[in-house]
Structure 1
Amino acid sequence: MPLSVAVAGASGYAGGELLRLLSAHPEFEVTTVTAFTNAGVPLIAAQPHLRSLAHLTLVETNAANLSGHDVVFLALPHGKSGEITAQLDEGTLVVDCGADHRLTDEADWASFYGGDFYGAWTYGLPEMLRASSTKQRDEIVGTRRIAVPGCNVTAITLGLAPGVASGLVEVDDIVAVLAVGPSGAGKALKPHLLASELMGSASVYGVGGSHRHVPEVQQNLRAAGGSDVRLSFTPVLVPMARGILATTTARLAPGVTEADLRTAWELAYADEPFVHLLPAGEFPRVADTLGANSALIGLAVDEAAGRVVVVTALDNLVKGTAGAAVQSANIALGLAETLGLTADGVAP
């Protein structure tokens, strides 16, 4: 019998992507979908592409409506998940795609988010390298509370962690510039996200270390073995509906060669179904990851600057959010990690 699933925030972009993946998952059955302002609206009116779930109606997002399910996925704005999760049964698998349970440091939460601190959950980035020569998936097995990473965080972490864990790159001078699609900002109507403002343009946001994903990247790279992690992170809003192209650079440790780097990245991801290092001289395109739970990585050395250059592409709504949530849920439940997911993108 399939496991019963509820999705909170089902009328948004992340919630819609969760539902798209879950609708084809052989072990899950979506029985409840919730929203805030869209409560009472047929799901098909809010997500017209989800024809197989047209029988569902959005109900109010509260603990009562989410209780009684085997699995609950939350795709809510920060500050909203924590209010609800404390009321859910400890035996229910709860997967939070928001920020409320990602950070381990309460001071970081206060500085970058503010409001009540709800504590960190098991981190839902299975492929993330740890200083202990293990991967984060080992921590996910059997857990009942999962915090899915931020989408930008996933791109930077997967791109750079092999160099940090192997000691091949320095962590006190990391620079990351990311081209990102506006779907990462959610579905709310905001003037700077209107098509007339986006088309034919590019603009930065979260400049000067103010973006909320900064402490999460630092947290991850410390877990990979870095100390005194210093990151300059600048996201750039570009006119593509979804996707992230992250260019991350860091100083090489003395004597490190490009061959050393490629060996480290190849060892890190050789057996991963969803993270792929491209051949030397090749670099990924966002277009090749759309609709897929894949992260594609290109690697180069800037000899003159003495830096590694890592280019990572992924779909912010799949590998960056909903795909990571389903992948982590599979692991927690003892299912095949790839169940309901694909590494194949959509083209053109």
Structure 2
Amino acid sequence: MTFTAAVSGASGYAGGELLRLLANHPDIEIGAITAHSNAGARLGDVQPHLHSLADRVLQETTPDVLTGHDVVFLALPHGASAEVAAQLPADTLVIDAGADHRLEDPAAWTKFYGSAHAGTWPYGLPELPGHRAGLAGARRIAVPGCYPTSVLLALCPGFVAGLLESDDVVVVSASGTSGAGKAVKPHLLGSEVMGGMSPYGVGGGHRHTPEMEQGLSRAAGKRVSLSFTPTLAPMARGILTTATARVTPGTGYARLRQAWEDAYAAEPFVRMLPEGQWPTTKAVLGSNHANLQLAFDDHAGRVIVSCVIDNLTKGTAGGAVQSMNIALGLDETAGLTIQGIAP
């Protein structure tokens, strides 16, 4: 059976990545492709890498254009998805790649995003305990943020196993510039970014912080607080997250390693690397894969977990397609690749 899919925000990085994946999906026929300021443009002029779709014309993003498809992907700015989604039929599978439907706490949404909370949808990170079952048959799905994807994959096994303390979690992540979107910003110009790194959103101000705490708290069964510092790296795409937490008394390396290996042993897109091999963003470029490695700092009593993902694939579009596959009852890996690109 073939399903029709519409992609909104198709001129942006997330929308372009969705189209790249869907164009190779055996069970998907791409329908409407929409945008806002680029409506009326030829897709090949704004996404020149999408050769098979180059002559398609971007339509306006309206409920009328999107209605009638089996699946609608909303790759829209934060705060823009909810209004569109509310006007789509209940039996349409709507997958929001923005933040509008990720948070459970309305107060956290208002604090970090400054608008009314639109409600909470099933969370599209199937590797977390219980989430895959919640996606099966769903008709509304919220795709996780790219940073939370890497952080939750890095730390949730330890919290689920009861091996980590909940009050001293520290995360530092480096992301490529595509994470900031496609709009022109002076501080993201090549001459500003190349050859250097810089932090931003320091001091608990990054919008993904409550999403990370929400996921970790669910895994732990109690409140988890963390300090998160994102940094901008001189690369187009990719995330390297280094997450640390204090371990519970009596927990050592072997027990930690076993917990992570058990958690991901059957997962097609998450891999614990062999001992001694550390993740590199290059190894997951263009793939829906996450690579992890773990160390135990006995002196500090802390676990250190490094996780790499491609922020546009596993961190956004790949996670959306993976969730779609589960919701529609398709092979979870359909249209996705485990292999990275080198050099």
TM-score tier after normalising by the smaller chain length:
over 0.9
> How far off is 1:227 after superposition?
1.9
Match status 1:328 vs 2:323? yes
Partner of 1:258: 253
Q: CA deviation at 1:55?
A: 3.1
Q: Could you report, residue by residue, the CA deviation over 1:164-217 in whole angstroms, capped at 9, with x for unpaired residues?
A: 000001121000000110101100001111101101111111100000000000
1:197 equivalent in structure 2:
192
Partner residue in 2 for 1:143: 138
* 1:298-317 superposed matches below 5 A: 298-317=293-312
Tell me the matched-pair count.
Answer: 343
Counterpart of 1:31, as a letter, is G
Letter in 1 for 2:63: A
- Alpha-carbon distance in 1 for matches of 2:185, 2:173: 21
For 2:267 and 2:253, how far apart are their aligned partners in 1?
22
Q: Which amino acid aligns with 2:213?
A: Q
Counterparts of 2:132 and 2:223 in 1: how far apart (Å)?
25
Structure 2 CA distance, aligned partners of 1:226 and 1:156? 17
| 8 A Cα contact 1:171 1:226, kept in partner | no
Matches of 2:16 and 2:221, distance apart in 1: 36
Identity of aligned residues (%): 60
Q: TM-score, normalised by structure 1?
A: 0.97
Is the aligned partner of 1:293 residue 2:288? Answer: yes
Structure 1 ranges of 4+ moved more than 4 A:
none
Runs of 5+ consecutive residues of structure 1 not aligned to the other structure: 130-134
Aligned residue number for residue 71 of structure 2: 71
User: How far off is 1:283 after superposition?
Assistant: 1.1
CA distance in 2, matches of 1:141, 1:3: 16
Give, in angstroms, the shift of residue 226 of structure 1: 4.1
Q: Does 1:12 align with 2:12?
A: yes
| In 2, Cα distance between equivalents of 1:31 and 1:230 | 42
1:241 corresponds to which of 221, 233, 236: 236
The answer on 1:182 being equivalent to 2:182 is no
Deviations 1:18-39 (A, max 9, x none): 0000000011011111100000
In the other structure, the counterpart of 1:125 is: 125
**Aligned with residue 266 of structure 2, among 265, 268, 271:** 271
Contact 1:281 1:300 in 2 (8 A): no
CA distance in 1, matches of 2:279, 2:162: 25
- What residue is the counterpart of 1:223 in the other structure? 218
Query: Which residue of the partner structure matches residue 112 of structure 1?
Result: 112
Counterpart residue type for residue 15 of structure 1: G
Q: Give the distance between the partners of 2:196 and 2:54, measured in 1 at CA.
A: 36
Alpha-carbon deviation of 1:317?
A: 0.2
- Using the TM superposition, give the Cα deviation of residue 225 of structure 1 relative to its aligned residue in structure 2, in angstroms: 2.1
Could you state the TM-score of these two structures normalised by the residue count of structure 2?
A: 0.99
Residue of structure 1 in register with 2:152 after alignment:
157
Provide the secondary structure at the position in 1 that maps to 2:220.
Answer: coil
The answer on whether the counterparts of 1:177 and 1:234 sit within 8 Å (CA) in structure 2 is yes
